[in-house]
Every structure is written in structure tokens, then in C-alpha cells.
Amino acid sequence: MKTNSKILYVILMIIVTTSISYAANLTSNGHSNGNGGPANLRPVNWIETDSGLPQGFGVGQISIGMNDQESLWAMAIDNTGAVADNFTRSTDSGENWTAGTFNAGTGLSQIFAVDDMTCWAVFNTGADQGLYKTTDGGANWINMNAGYGASSFTNVIHFFNDNDGFAQGDPIDGYYELYTTTNGGDNWTRVPEADIPVPTTGEFGITGNYYAVGDNIWYGTNLGRIFYSTDKGYTWDVTMTPFGSANTVTCIFSDALNGFAFRSYLNMGIEPEIDITTDGGQTYTPLFVTGDMYARWFSHVPGTTSTFVGSSSEPGFEGASYSEDGGNTWITLNSGVAIQATAFLDAETGWAGNWAGATSGGMYIFDGNLNVITGEIEGTVTDLDEGFAIEGAVITLGTFSTTTDVNGDYNMIMDIGTFTLTSEIDGYEVYTQDNVVIEEDEITTVDFQMQNLYLPPQNLTYIFNAPNVVLNWDVPVGSIGLSGYKVYRNGAMLSEINNVSATLYVDQNVPTGNYTYYLTAMYGTHESVPSNEVEVEVVDAGNILPANGTTLNGNVPNPFNPTTTISFSLETAGYVNIDIYNVKGEKVRTLVDENLEATSHSVVWDGKDDLGRTTSSGVYFYKMKTGSFTSTKKMVLMK
């Protein structure tokens, strides 16, 4: 008898995560891997098309027509935790899709496409479970009475040709319920118990998890074993994989002898291990792979000896990768977007599922070539003067690009050839190196250093609040390695500021006279060229206000305890920012940070900082910025 635990297990195996990622014409250049480092990337596009499925539905399986390779059928999964008895099909190689709903009940677990109108389906629950067939494009599904009953649990169907087929169900009466047909599914015969290895206690098959090549067929179980047959399912043997009985496993093959087993769970993202076989599944050897192997769904690429594609929609590990060497090394096709079930016709023709959006989407058409001869480039980028790693530099060779990680490292898989390498990042001179040669299956290492431009502070301005001169500036755009500032008055250093985020300095109690101020930026031991200069005439008059309709008025009262009102007016509507600073130039509170109308305004400061803490007595400055207008005034909190 089937059990509730088996039904729950199947639901968990079929559904995917509820996180929906949605993008059109997905490209792969420049993504990083799930660990934050540079990924091996293969430039490729997945061109999005409409699956026809309802919003929120994804694709759990794609089946290419056995007799018509322009015909595709796909099985739906939903994001609510329930099995989705929906399907969609295409008759034009995936350009257009038409969705439908199975009318045979619930419990869909796998489909097998024959042509544009004919498809088989497996239902695995209830009295109506069994093998179903449609010959009218999915309008009607007919139970072909294979022998499965209410106590059965069907998982798999496969046809080797128009006549010979196989179906797999869970153990019943002490042995697996396996069937064969020789007349296209009109009649089915159960495989005798003597021809099937005995199931272990609690063992069962997994819905839709099998693989077939020629007359060879394999299916995995929930207890780490893989059954295999070399005669279209008439006689069977079984092997325990190195994963052991605690893991659910299945497998995929490129030919009758070579393939690999992998753990088959729902939330598989990037996996480090597979079990390789070279004898058709009689023995398996554990292998820790190189590169990011996306491991929820796998497909073999026909026409290749050992190219496989893996994909995942697990949140945080969404993407696809491929291997050209039978699973040893994996190259990222793209990351950051959920790629569900895939199917390939050859190295340039394939399809992948995604989530259907509100109006369209849910299916990708592969737009690339998995047979391109490739090499690899790697290296480390550092600062020329200081030697520290440069993160975020964009490395480009031809149409290939990636970015450096926190250690300054980069890595790319790319076409072979001779390229010009460029590296760009704000605050540095562009680095260029010609004649970088990428050779087949070889690693080219190019380490280099970039010259920091040591950009100065920008847009230095001042406000004279007798007897103080308040300097304001902007942090240099794109600065890397910035460590602080130096303030100069009449050519002599006035102060050194060891705060990279500081944008205000108050020169207090300045005597009457004429002064020239400028700043430099410090990058470790290196000092930038000066900023723009400002000339200030210090007189005994009061504050000098800008002569236009936009004003910042004095706060009332002043001194104050604990609140004061700051009023200001705007000549034209626009974005306004008012910040409060202490005498060290550290920002204490943001009072205004929004778009306002052209009129008079006021705001109250309660003497607290941005974290709600009460500030101490002393001198504070409030700075207003709007458009080209900047004004700073002084106030005193006295307790």
C-alpha cells in the first residue's frame, strides 16, 4: 500500500521554491558565484517566451517529442506546495506554447512526448492512477489500464521506440511494480519478481526520476540505490551508490556506460559532489567537482560525448552551469535567475523553465553554443602604489567581462584567441594590455597593477559665520583607498581629518583678514592634488547670506534647551537636505531629506541624534543644501 509519507515525499520532490525570479533575454556576463567570488562564466542568452501557464506556475519537466523534435511538452509545477496538474506544449520548437489542464485527476508525476498531438502521462495517486495517453493535443487523457491499482504508486514511463516501452512503480506484494509493452502501450505485462532485485525496507522510486540510453534504463530510489537494465526493462540489477542509504539518488548518462549519480532533493542549489560511473552503473566512484554545479535538474546534450547541463531555482543559488568533461568541471552559464527543468536537442538548441509572470514568461529558449572551444584566464588586480587588492574592477576581453572580488581576483572561461585586456574602475587610470592569448583548455594568468588617480575633494564652498569660517565639500567620486583629508589656509596645513566621510570643517575664531582655503585627500601616505580654492574675507559683520529668494534663517531660540526651530524658504520647489553637525564635522542628525514646495518652511530639532540619543551641550552647525544653494549656520545647545 502507498503511504501518506510517500505522498508527502512526492509533493516535496515535485514542487519547487516559492521565490519567483523573472527576467527577459537573460545574459550571464559579470555574475559572481554563490560564495561571492568570481564565477566561471560562459556568455549565453536565455531568450524568454510565454509558457502559457498561469501566473506563478513553473516548469518541472520538458519532454522533446520522440517522433517530432519540433514538438515539446512540459509539465507544470506550482509555488503553493501542491502538485500542479497542468501542462503546456509547443509545436514550433518552443516559440509558442499552449497550456492545458489534465482531465484525469490529480497526481501527475511525469510526461513522455511522442509528437505534437500524442503524449503519455503518469498519475500516481488515487483509484484512477496509472498510465495515461492523449492523442488530441491534451484535450482528453485516457487511462491505458497498465495494471496499476489503488494500492499502487506509479512513477515513471518511457518508450524506446513506437512499440517498446517501460513503466516503473513502487514495490507492491514484496517487489517493484514494473511493466513492459511491445505494442505501443495498448497492453502492459508486469516484470516477474525473479527478474527484479528485492527492495530494501521502506524503499521506493521517485516520480519522474530515471534515465534511458538505447536499450539501457536506470532509476534511483530514496535509499541510495540505482536499479539498471540493459534489455529495455525486462531484467534488472541494482547498485548502492557511495552516497549511501540516507540519500535519495538518481542518475544521468551520456551513453550506455558513462554517467553519474547525484542526490535528488527539492532544494538543491550548488552541489559539490557526484558519483561517476564508466560501466553502465555497476560501480560508482565519488567525485568532488570543480566549479559551481547547479544541481536541482540535469540534462545531457545529445550529439556530445560528455556535455551535461545542471540548473537550480533554489533561492540564493539560482542559475545554470554545464560540464564538457562528464561532470568533473562545471562552467556557469548564468547565475541569479531561477532556471528550472532543461532539455537539449543539441549543443545549440535547448529550452529551460522559469516562473510564469502576471502577463507572460515562464519559458526560455537557449541562445548559445555549448561546443565552443574555450580556455581560461585568471589573475589578481592590485593598487600600483599601495599594493592593496582592488575590488570591483571590470575586466574585459572582447565580448567577455567579469569583475574582481574582495581579494582583487578575477576568473573567466572564454573563447580561445588573442584579445586586448582592459580593466576599468572609478578613481583609477584605465589599464590596457594587448595580445593576451587564450589557448584551448589552458589557464592564462595575467596579474597587473592599476594607478590610483588620487582624486581630490570636490566642490569646496564656504559660509562665513563670524568669527568662524565653515568649509563644505563633497567626497571625491570613485575614490578607493581614501583615508582622510588635510585642510589648508594660506598654504599652511591647518588640520588633518581622519574621517573619510567628513564633508564639513569649522575654522573657529578667525581673525579679520583675507584667506585662501583648499583641501587635499589622503590615500594612505599619498596626498592628492588640491581641491578648488575659496577666498574668504573675514570682517566683523554678521553672517553673509546668499542674495536670492532661497534662504536659511537663524534658529529660534538660540541658545536653546532642548528644542529649537529652524526656518527656511525656497524660491523654487526642489529637493532639500538639512543636516546637523558637531564642531568636529561629524553629522549628528538629518532633519530634512525630501522634495518641498516653493514657500516658507520650518523644522524643529529636539536636541537628539539620528539614533534618538540626547546630545550634549555645545556648538552645532546646521547645513542646508538645495540645488546650487548651500548655507550653514551656528547654534548653541545650552543645558
Look up residue 162 and give its amino acid. Answer: D
Is the pLDDT at 283 greater than 70? The verdict is yes
List, in order, residues 6 or more apart from 339 with CB less than 8 Å away: 46, 294, 311, 312, 313, 318, 319, 320, 333, 352, 353, 354, 364
Taking the model in full, what pTM does it have?
0.60
Query: Using the 8-state DSSP alphabet, how is residue 585 labeled?
Result: S
> What is the percent of the chain where pLDDT is above 70?
90
Evaluate whether 257 touches 267 at the Cβ level (below 8 Å): no
Evaluate whether 385 touches 363 at the Cβ level (below 8 Å): no
pLDDT class of 174 with cuts at 50, 70, 90: very high
CATH of 375-450 given 3.40.50.150, 2.40.50.140, 2.60.40.1120, 3.30.365.10: 2.60.40.1120
Domains 4-372 and 375-450 share a fold: no
Mean pLDDT computed over 75-104: 84
Domain range annotation of the chain: 4-372, 375-450, 458-538, 551-637
Sheet strand arrangement including 175-181 = 154-159, 165-172, 175-181, 189-190
What pLDDT digit, counting tens, does each position of 229-242 carry? 999 999 999 999 99
Mean pLDDT computed over 455-481: 86
Report the top-level CATH class of 458-538: mainly beta
Q: Report helix, strand or coil for 12.
A: helix
What pLDDT digit, counting tens, does each position of 104-156 carry? 767 788 999 999 999 999 987 777 789 999 999 999 999 998 888 888 899 99
Beta bridge partners of residue 434, listed in sequence order = none
What pLDDT digit, counting tens, does each position of 9-68 carry? 444 444 333 233 333 344 443 333 333 333 344 446 789 999 999 998 999 999 999 999
Per CATH, the number for 4-372 is: 2.130.10.10
Angle at 446 between CA 442 and CA 451, to 5 degrees: 165
| DSSP strands (E only) in 57-103 | 58-64, 72-77, 86-90, 98-101
Per CATH, the number for 551-637 is: 2.60.40.4070
pLDDT class of 297 with cuts at 50, 70, 90: very high
Evaluate whether 368 touches 380 at the Cβ level (below 8 Å): no
Evaluate whether 457 touches 519 at the Cβ level (below 8 Å): yes
Query: Which pLDDT belongs to residue 11?
Result: 42
pLDDT class of 6 with cuts at 50, 70, 90: low
Is the pLDDT at 416 greater than 50? The verdict is yes
Query: Which pLDDT belongs to residue 80?
Result: 56
Query: Which pLDDT belongs to residue 480?
Result: 82
Q: Hey, how many other C-beta atoms are within 10 angstroms of the C-beta on 638?
A: 12
Q: Which of 472, 501, 631 is nearest to 566 (CA)?
A: 631
Q: Which of 313, 321, 368, 320 is nearest to 346 (CA)?
A: 368
Query: Which pLDDT belongs to residue 361?
Result: 81
pLDDT class of 389 with cuts at 50, 70, 90: very high
SS3 content of the chain, % helix, strand, coil (to 5): 0, 50, 50
Measured CA distances, 440 to 289, 417, 460, 518 (Å): 20, 9, 54, 55
What pLDDT digit, counting tens, does each position of 315-362 carry? 889 999 999 899 999 989 888 888 999 999 999 999 999 888 877 789
Residue where the block lists cell 521506440: 161
